[in-house]
Each structure stands twice: as structure tokens, then as C-alpha cells.
RNA sequence: CGGAGUGUAGCGCAGUUUGGUUAGCGCACCUGGUUUGGGACCAGGGGGUCGGGGGUUCGAGUCCCUCCACUCCGACCA
């Protein structure tokens, strides 16, 4: 491809509305343009990268037995009503009506459509297992799209679905896809970790997320430094030792704590450690009031709470609810609370003599023993893990790090097949629901995550497999006839030996071309200039290392080939 | 949805507080010339519903009302 005839609108300055580096660089390098909030056009370079990512995904999916199809983006409401998600999915599902006033939505995911497809065709265990996937634009009406391609409303996704005759087969399919994902992300050249994750509203039994490690990630993951344990914080189990000490606690005593609301204020005022204070958080769980107790210096994990209570909706109580169940906001406590359900974090069972709120303005209780003075419904693991906690698996040291979720695999079970009556006949002629799994990769998010992980002050540093071009051939001064003709020769040579080459044949000054070259991040630059050419040489610059090699003109093509092979 | 901010040429911005000639700067673009190894220089030129609508005023980019879009924080979501 000749740059002079191509479409790469690069920018000198950062776009004003971009915050994170991948967003800035994608726009500056002429890879994307925003149409409206969370919705982007992919320009030639951006599209090429997406196609390279997609192709790797295709190859690995097919290698692991999946078959590509393409489903519609527009889906009828009936299917979603059948699965129960028309109501459950919420506002993220973009709904609209056609001219006949029938309800439709733009597909945010395709469990309904695929289940509908398969239930009409798959009638026998002999047709199983089956694994279908597609690469397609999804639409999710995010409340707050942000960070460019990282959290868009319209985005390119690979979604795959497996169907098995039994649990055992479904586990095999899941493990098969786990391996496929490992090899996909490895081939893409990303620094990633597979972590255990919560299943969220898609539901099912267990799941893994594939996280690209980057500071700008929206997820926090826990990684053990000693063993292979890796998990999303939302799911990280906290191991607490059992209580061994003497349980001595003086009698409960009410104290005045004027206008001290926060744990920090109360701790300072009463001169006790934050670990001796119990926070009482009031929640509205599916419409009923629930109190949750947690140590003063800890954070509650709402997902753990939601899962433990098998709840649908969990939200902090409103001011009015707090006043109804407890008293003035800031002084809630488990003693004398007008609520049936009080849950406490496991860690609290290990100590006594706590400070708690008294459900009364400007009052707290000291010397509270939770088993003596309160009615705790149950002790559960409810808090977020911290770096001082031991690894739940091996007891070793753990580290918290940020990650960008680029892939997610779920074992769905029979949730959709039962709701939508996707049955088949087994070996004994019995009717059974298909056992499903689903597997997603955010293709456009992979591109953003890749740039978050691979850039410097000058621009993008693409790993070879994702780079829009493998090699950028720069003719330094196209008005110099020797430079012009020699670079034309090189261009033809590189093309003919299968190198994906972009030829910068523009009539621009060298500095201008160098800046653009570094910005778009093509892995290898071949620089043809009058000075080196006079020595019969050309220059090869490796974008990643900044290393420059002067090589004889005739050897350039083979050296590029060697560099390519070395990385692949 | 709550809070904060922004909207002036393709991009990045000044001007708005205190209303007053023809709305400005840098980059980009067009023409001519010089230049050519890290975002050149000189000269000339084109491009504006100042986010939309309404109002106040002799006069509005500037003041008032209203609507819209975009960004950030939060809530939400996975």
C-alpha cells in the first residue's frame, strides 16, 4: 500500500475529549474517529488491526473445533421474553419498534438467537457436541461510555456458544475453549492472566476472565506471587484464621460521639483502633432491609453479598430507609436494630469488645460483643481481599493489580435451553435440555488494551500480530531519483515475498515522516535515504527497541524476513 | 440519573468576567518560491449558522431563558 494514495489522517495534537492513552493514540494515529458518544468509525489502519485480531481468533477457534456463523444484529422481543431477559436485562438493552409497532432490540449478546437456532435443528445426542461462534458488532447502551474503544456502546465482539449432551461434555467444551483462549491471547502478543470471575447476570456455574494487565484497567485482580492463583477481587475468597483468644468483654456502654459519623472520626474521638470499630451498612436487598457488619478498616464486597443471599438486586439503603430501620444516618448499629437480617463478615467473629453505632443521634456503644449483645443471622465472607491477606489457595503473598477484561468464558448449564425449550433425545430416548457454554472476546477492546500495554511517548508500539502493517518502507526524499527508484524496487521485493508493507512515498520532509512512522507503531521501519544509499545500504529501525541497523541494500529483504520469523 | 465542566474554521485554543469597528492565533489546507535524516521557512490565499432556538438591547460570541451535544467524577453495568 502506498501512503500517498491511502487514508491515514494523523494528528499532531491529542484530541481534547480523550483521557486514556489508547484513545488518544488511536485517534492521533488515524485509526478511529468518533461519530457520537461510545460509537466509532474504524479507518483503514484500525480496521486492518481488527481484521488481524479477528483472523487469529478465527484460526484458533476453528483449530479447537468451533464453526463460524453470522447472526443478526436486530433481534425480536419475543425471544428475550422467552428467556426472561426482556425484563431482566435493563436499560443497557437498546429497544425499539418497527413500523408495525413490534418490539425489537439491538443484540448485546446472542444466547437467545443461538438457542432459538439450535433448538430447531439439534434433536439427537448424535449431533452433539456443537460449538458455533461469530464475530460481529454488538450494541450495549452503556450508561457512561468512556475511554474510547475500551468501553464503547457499539463494539466488535467474538461470541461463541457450545452445546453438549451432559455436564461432563460441557466441562470438556469449557476446558477446550479455555485452551483456545490461552493460545489466542498468547498469539496476540498480550501480557494477560486468566482469572476466576463472577458469572454476573449471564448466570451459570463458573467462569474465567482473560485480563490484559494495564494500569488503566477497570478491574482489579488478585494474583498470588507463590502459586498460580489468580482471581477477580470481586470473587477473591478471604481466609480468616479461627479465634483462639480469651473472649473477655466489659458490659455494653453507651457513649456520646457528637457529630462523629465516619469510622475515622469515631476512632479518633474514642481513641480506639479502626479495627475495633464495626461498620453497619444497611442495604436494600430485593426490597427488604438487610444489615451488613464489617470491620471499620475493610471494604464490603457487594457481589459476595449478592451471591451469598442469592439476591437479584442489592443496593445501599436510601436516607429514608436508614431512618426507618435504624435512625439518623451515620449512627447505625446492630444493637436494637429494627431488622430481621443481620449478616457479619467472618473476620468479626475473631474478636470482641467492638465499638458500634447506637441507632441514635450522636451515640455509639462501646464494649460490644457481637454474640452476646446482638442477633447475627450468619457470619459470611463478605469483604474485599487486601494485599495483607494471605493467598486463599496456598497462604502465600498476594498482589493486587489492574486489568482490562478482554475475554470471558462461562459455563451456562441449562439456563437458556430450559427457558427456551431447547431439548434433544439422549441415548435412552429421554428428552434432555442442551448443556451450554458461552465464550466472548472483545475484539475492539483487545486493540485498545494492546495499545495501553504497548506504547511510548512517541506513539503506538504494535506487537507484530496486531500491527496494521508489518513493515513501513520510508523513502526519505522522493524527489531524489535514486532514492525513489531504489525504494520502489524494495517495495516490490517486500510485497512479493509476502511482507505486509506500507510504503511512505509522500513528498514530505524526513522529520515529518519519522514522527508519523513512530506514531502509527509499525514494528519495522525500512528507511531509504540518499546518505546510506551512497554506501549501498538502507537502514532498518525496530520500533519497539529503537534499535537501528544499517544493512546492505540487497540483504534488506532477507533481514526483514528473519526479523519477522524471529518474532513469530 | 446526581455532581462538575466544555461547546468559537478540519484539529488544538484565545476572546465572554466589564455587550461596541470587519471574530482572532497555532496546526492543517490552496498558490508560488526556497528547503530536505526527527513534525521547515518566506510571501500570498481560501475556509466561521461563535452548538440550536427564543429573549433583552440602538447593538449580543459576550447578558437572560430554554433545548441539545460532548467530557470527567459518582451511581449503574460485566
A25-80 pLDDT, tens per residue? Answer: 999 999 999 999 999 999 999 999 999 999 999 999 999 999 999 999 999 999 99
For A460, half-sphere exposure in the C-beta direction (CA atoms, 13 angstrom radius) is 34
What rounded mean pLDDT belongs to chain A? Answer: 91
Determine the distance between A517 (CA) and B8 (C1') in angstroms.
33
Determine the distance between A508 (CA) and B44 (C1') in angstroms.
22
Nucleotide nearest to A34 (CA to C1'): B70
A223-246: average pLDDT: 82
With a CB cutoff of 8 Å and minimum separation 6, the contacts of A239 are A389, A390, A392, A395
A145 CB and strand B closer than 7 A = yes
**Which pLDDT does position A520 carry in this prediction?**
97
A404-424: average pLDDT: 94
| Backbone conformation region of residue A189, classed left if phi is above 0, alpha if psi is from -120 to 50, else beta | left
| pLDDT of A270 strictly over 60 | yes
A128-144: average pLDDT: 94
Q: What pairing do the DSSP bridges indicate for beta strands A278-285 and A230-232? A: unpaired
Q: Where are the domains of chain A?
A: 19-235+400-451, 253-380, 469-567
Please give the model's pTM, rounded to 2 decimal places. Answer: 0.89
**Which pLDDT does position A216 carry in this prediction?**
84
pLDDT > 90: percent of chain A: 66
Instruction: Tell me which protein residue sits closest to nucleotide B37, measuring alpha carbon to C1'.
Output: A510
**Which pLDDT does position A244 carry in this prediction?**
66
Euclidean distance between CA atoms A389 and A396, whole angstroms = 9
| pLDDT of A201 strictly over 80 | no
A288 CB and strand B closer than 7 A = no
**A555 touches A537 (CB < 8 A):** no
A37 CB and strand B closer than 7 A = yes
CATH number of the domain at A19-235+400-451, please? Answer: 3.30.930.10
**A442 touches A148 (CB < 8 A):** no
Tell me A115's DSSP state.
Answer: H
**Which pLDDT does position A82 carry in this prediction?**
94
Nucleotide nearest to A314 (CA to C1'): B76
A202 CB and strand B closer than 7 A = yes
A531 CB and strand B closer than 7 A = yes
**Which pLDDT does position A205 carry in this prediction?**
54
Euclidean distance between CA atoms A211 and A231, whole angstroms = 10
Fold equal for A19-235+400-451 and A469-567: no
pLDDT in tens, A508-517: 999 999 999 9
| pLDDT of A544 strictly over 90 | yes
CATH number of the domain at A469-567, please? Answer: 3.40.50.800
**Which pLDDT does position A199 carry in this prediction?**
64
**Which pLDDT does position A324 carry in this prediction?**
83
**Which pLDDT does position A175 carry in this prediction?**
95
The more confidently predicted of residues A328 and A225 is A225
| pLDDT of A341 strictly over 70 | yes
**Which pLDDT does position A453 carry in this prediction?**
93
Q: Which residues of A191-209 are buried (b: 16+ CB within 10 A; e: fewer)?
A: ebbbbbbbbeebebeebbb
Q: Supply φ then ψ for residue A556, to 5 degrees.
A: -55, -50
**Which pLDDT does position A230 carry in this prediction?**
86
A310 CB and strand B closer than 7 A = no
pLDDT in tens, A372-389: 899 899 999 999 898 889
| pLDDT of A204 strictly over 70 | no
Find how far residue A394's CA is from the centre of its chain.
Answer: 26
Determine the distance between A126 (CA) and B68 (C1') in angstroms.
58
Nucleotide nearest to A201 (CA to C1'): B78
Q: Which residues of A477-495 are buried (b: 16+ CB within 10 A; e: fewer)?
A: bbebeebeebbbebbebbe
Q: Provide the positions of strand B that have an atom within 7 A of a protein CB.
A: 1, 11-13, 26-27, 35-40, 69-78
Q: Give how far Cα A533 sits from Cα of A478, A485, A530, Å.
A: 13, 11, 5
Place A489 in a pLDDT band, splitting at 50, 70 and 90.
very high
Task: Report the CATH superfamily, name and number, of domain A253-380.
Answer: YbaK/aminoacyl-tRNA synthetase-associated domain (3.90.960.10)
Euclidean distance between CA atoms A462 and A453, whole angstroms = 10
Euclidean distance between CA atoms A226 and A315, whole angstroms = 36
Instruction: Tell me which protein residue sits closest to nucleotide B12, measuring alpha carbon to C1'.
Output: A13
Amino acid at each position: 500500500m502506498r501512503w500517498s494514495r491511502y487514508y491515514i489522517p494523523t494528528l499532531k495534537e491529542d484530541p481534547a475529549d480523550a483521557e486514556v492513552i489508547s484513545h488518544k493514540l488511536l485517534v492521533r494515529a488515524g485509526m478511529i474517529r468518533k461519530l457520537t458518544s461510545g460509537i466509532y468509525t474504524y479507518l483503514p489502519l484500525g480496521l486492518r488491526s481488527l481484521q488481524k485480531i479477528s483472523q487469529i481468533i478465527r484460526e484458533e477457534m476453528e483449530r479447537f473445533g468451533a464453526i463460524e456463523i453470522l447472526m443478526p444484529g436486530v433481534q425480536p422481543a419475543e425471544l428475550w421474553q422467552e428467556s426472561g431477559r426482556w425484563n431482566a436485562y435493563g436499560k443497557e438493552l437498546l429497544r425499539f419498534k418497527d413500523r408495525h409497532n413490534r418490539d425489537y432490540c439491538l443484540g448485546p449478546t446472542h444466547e437467545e438467537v443461538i438457542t432459538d437456532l439450535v433448538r430447531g435443528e439439534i434433536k439427537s445426542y448424535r449431533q452433539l457436541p456443537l460449538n458455533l461462534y461469530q464475530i460481529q458488532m454488538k450494541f450495549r447502551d452503556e450508561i457512561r461510555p468512556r475511554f474510547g474503544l475500551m468501553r464503547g456502546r457499539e463494539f466488535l465482539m467474538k461470541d461463541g456458544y457450545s452445546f453438549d449432551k451432559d455436564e461432563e461434555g460441557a466441562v470438556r467444551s469449557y476446558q477446550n475453549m479455555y485452551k483456545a483462549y490461552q493460545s489466542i491471547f498468547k498469539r496476540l502478543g498480550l501480557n494477560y492472566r486468566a482469572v476466576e470471575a463472577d458469572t454476573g447476570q449471564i448466570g451459570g456455574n463458573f467462569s474465567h476472565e482473560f485480563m490484559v494487565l494495564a494500569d488503566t484497567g477497570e478491574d482489579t485482580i488478585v494474583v498470588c506471587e507463590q502459586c498460580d492463583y489468580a482471581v477477580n477481587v470481586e470473587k477473591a475468597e478471604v481466609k480468616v484464621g479461627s479465634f483462639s483468644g480469651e473472649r473477655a468483654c466489659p458490659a455494653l456502654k453507651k457513649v456520646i460521639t457528637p457529630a462523629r459519623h465516619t469510622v475515622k472520626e469515631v476512632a479518633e474521638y474514642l481513641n480506639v483502633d479502626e479495627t475495633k470499630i464495626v461498620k453497619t451498612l444497611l442495604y436494600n436487598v430485593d426490597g427488604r432491609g438487610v444489615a451488613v457488619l464489617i470491620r471499620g478498616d475493610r471494604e464490603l464486597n457487594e457481589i459476595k453479598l449478592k451471591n451469598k443471599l442469592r439476591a437479584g438486586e442489592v443496593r445501599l439503603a436510601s436516607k429514608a430507609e436508614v431512618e426507618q430501620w435504624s435512625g439518623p444516618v451515620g449512627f447505625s448499629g446492630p444493637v436494637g436494630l429494627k431488622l430481621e437480617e443481620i449478616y457479619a463478615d467472618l473476620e468479626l467473629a475473631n474478636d470482641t469488645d467492638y465499638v458500634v453505632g447506637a441507632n441514635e443521634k450522636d451515640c455509639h456503644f462501646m464494649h460490644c460483643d457481637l454474640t452476646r449483645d446482638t442477633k447475627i443471622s450468619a457470619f459470611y465472607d463478605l469483604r474485599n481481599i487486601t494485599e495483607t491477606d494471605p493467598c486463599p489457595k496456598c497462604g502465600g503473598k498476594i498482589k493486587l493489580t489492574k486489568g482490562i477484561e478482554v475475554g470471558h468464558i462461562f459455563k451456562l448449564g441449562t439456563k437458556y435451553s430450559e427457558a427456551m425449550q431447547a431439548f434433544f433425545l439422549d441415548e435412552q430416548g429421554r428428552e434432555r435440555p442442551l448443556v451450554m457454554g458461552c465464550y466472548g472476546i472483545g475484539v475492539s477492546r483487545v486493540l485498545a488494551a494492546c495499545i495501553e500495554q504497548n506504547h511510548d511517548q512517541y506513539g503506538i508500539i504494535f506487537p507484530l500480530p496486531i500491527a496494521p502493517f508489518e513493515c513501513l518502507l520510508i523513502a526519505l526524499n522522493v524527489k531524489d531519483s535514486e532514492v525513489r527508484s531504489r525504494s520502489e524496487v524494495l517495495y516490490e521485493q517486500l510485497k512479493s515475498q509476502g511482507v505486509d508493507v506500507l510504503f511512505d512515498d509522500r513528498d514530505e520532509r524526513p522529520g515529518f515522516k519519522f514522527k508519523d512512522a513512530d506514531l502509527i507503531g509499525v514494528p519495522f521501519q525500512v528507511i531509504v535515504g540518499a546518505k546510506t544509499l551512497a554506501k549501498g545500504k538502507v537502514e532498518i529501525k525496530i520500533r519497539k527497541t529503537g534499535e537501528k541497523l544499517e544493512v546492505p541494500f540487497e540483504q534488506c529483504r532477507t533481514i526483514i524476513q528473519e526479523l519477522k520469523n524471529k518474532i513469530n
